[in-house]
């Protein structure tokens, strides 16, 4: 995979989890999602978990989108 996610951090505030990207708030997780997030962070790569939670990660279709007629010449 080209380019590993980076620049993410999280802070636990009570039962909520605030995920930031390069110092700017990206999302707030509450309740069950926050608990699941904390479990995932302990088991796997935290940067990838945070990228997945915020929706800021590569989906594998970038090359295909780049070749779409509307995006040609960019």
Two tokens at 67?
């070749």
With pLDDT > 90 as the criterion, what percentage of the chain qualifies?
Answer: 57
* pTM of full prediction above 0.75: no
At 45-58, the pLDDT tens digits run 999 899 889 886 65
54 and 46 Cβ atoms separated by less than 8 Å = no
Q: Over 90: is that where the pLDDT of 62 sits?
A: no
Two tokens at 23?
């110092």
Q: Over 70: is that where the pLDDT of 65 sits?
A: no
Show the 3-state SS of 28-74: EECHHHHHHHHHHHHHCCHHHHHHHHHCCCCCCCHHHHHCCHHHCCC
The pLDDT-based confidence of 2 (bands split at 50, 70, 90) is very low
The per-residue pLDDT for 61 is: 58
């Amino acid at each position: 995979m080209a380019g590993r996610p980076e620049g993410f951090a999280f802070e636990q505030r009570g039962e909520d989890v605030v995920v930031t990207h390069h110092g700017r708030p990206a999302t707030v997780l509450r309740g069950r999602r926050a608990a699941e997030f904390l479990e995932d962070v302990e088991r796997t790569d935290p940067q990838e978990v945070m990228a997945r939670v915020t929706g800021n990660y590569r989906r594998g279709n970038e090359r295909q989108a780049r070749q779409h007629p509307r995006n040609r010449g960019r």
